[in-house]
Amino acid sequence: MGILNVEHIVKSFDKTEVLKDICFSMEESEVLSIIGSSGSGKTTLLRCLNFLERPDKGIIKVNDNIVFDGNDKSYLKESVIRKNRMHFGMVFQSFNLFPQYTAIENVMLARRLQAEKLPDFKAKKKEILEEIRSEAEFLIAQMGLTERKDNYPHQLSGGQCQRVAIARALAMKPDILCFDEPTSALDPELTGEVLRVIKELAETRMTMIIVTHEMAFARDVADKVIFMDNGYVLESGTSDEVFNHPKEDRTKQFLGRFNNG
């Protein structure tokens, strides 16, 4: 039941508990927005999903298959983690593009390395590489970057870099695509183009988790919203419930800051 189930995730750094009993679930094709003030644990939660951080406790299920269980050490094995993290794509605030590769090479690199490990790669090299390239070109076009595909990251604007990063994440065909404040590092005039492609992805029914401070965007694009506060999921519900009828005082206070300014 559900594409993603997150149950009782706990994560501490040294002695400070940063995630405290996080629970939520998602259906396929849903868009979930995570909002909350800075330091509330949003980034850490995303990083736990793709195992850049190891949760201390809790269970994560994708399509009803357990991909992490804090009580079972076998999920911490490097090979298991490498396989399971592929359920999730990740778009970082700071893009993290590979500077020595062009836009399209950034999109193709991981797929190519993956393909080279296939047993029949030598035999079908040409077709496999051809397929990877045509998929990458499709994604680049979807991001509106066809003219820019042979540019290096330093030749692109922040908004274009972030769109390359989105294409790069999509190339791995994740079940769920996660965004960590995808527009926070951008000049204000460049946020629109990135939010637009994310919105278009939502229309193609891509399952997404979006951490963002763009409240109007979150309200518009999200099916569900989670408000995080101090490591807890303080409030969750549909976009309408959380944005228009928040129950908790902390949520009202947080949203009020955005409405007034």
Partner 1 sequence: MQTFSEQLPIVLHSLNIGFLQTLKLFFVTLIGALPLGLLISLGTGSKITPLRITLKIFIWIIRGTPLMIQLLIIYYFPGLVLKNAIWGGDEAGRFAASAVAFIINYACYFSEIFRGGISSIPIGQDEAGLVLGMSKSQIFFKVKLLQMIKRIVPPMSNEILTLVKDTSLARIIALQEVIWAGQAFMKGSQGISGAIWPLFFTAIYYLICNGLLTLLLGGLEKKLEYFR
Ligand X SMILES: Nc1ncnc2c1ncn2[C@@H]1O[C@H](COP(=O)(O)OP(=O)(O)O)[C@@H](O)[C@H]1O
Interface with ligand X in residues 89-108 (CB under 6 A): none
Candidates 88-96, 130-138, 186-194, 225-233: pick the segment binding partner 1 (CB under 8 A).
88-96
In the bound complex, what is the minimum distance in angstroms from residue 152's beta carbon to partner 1? 5
Q: CB-wise, 153 or 182, nearer to ligand X?
A: 182
Applying CB under 6 A, does 54 fall inside the site for ligand X?
Answer: no
Q: Which stretch binds ligand X (CB under 6 A): 1-9, 35-43, 72-80, 95-103?
A: 35-43
Q: Can residue 88 be called a binding residue for partner 1 (CB under 8 A)?
A: yes
* 10 in contact with partner 1 (CB under 8 A): no
Residue in 9, 32, 35, 41 binding ligand X, rule: CB under 6 A? 41
Q: Quick one: 35 or 161, whose CB is closer to ligand X?
A: 35
39 binds ligand X (CB under 6 A): yes
191 and 183 Cβ atoms separated by less than 8 Å: yes
Q: Decide if residue 43 touches ligand X (CB under 6 A).
A: yes
Binding site for ligand X (CB under 6 A): 13, 18, 36, 38-44
Binding site for partner 1 (CB under 8 A): 50, 52, 82, 85-86, 88-90, 92, 94, 96-101, 109-110, 113-114, 152-154, 168-169, 172
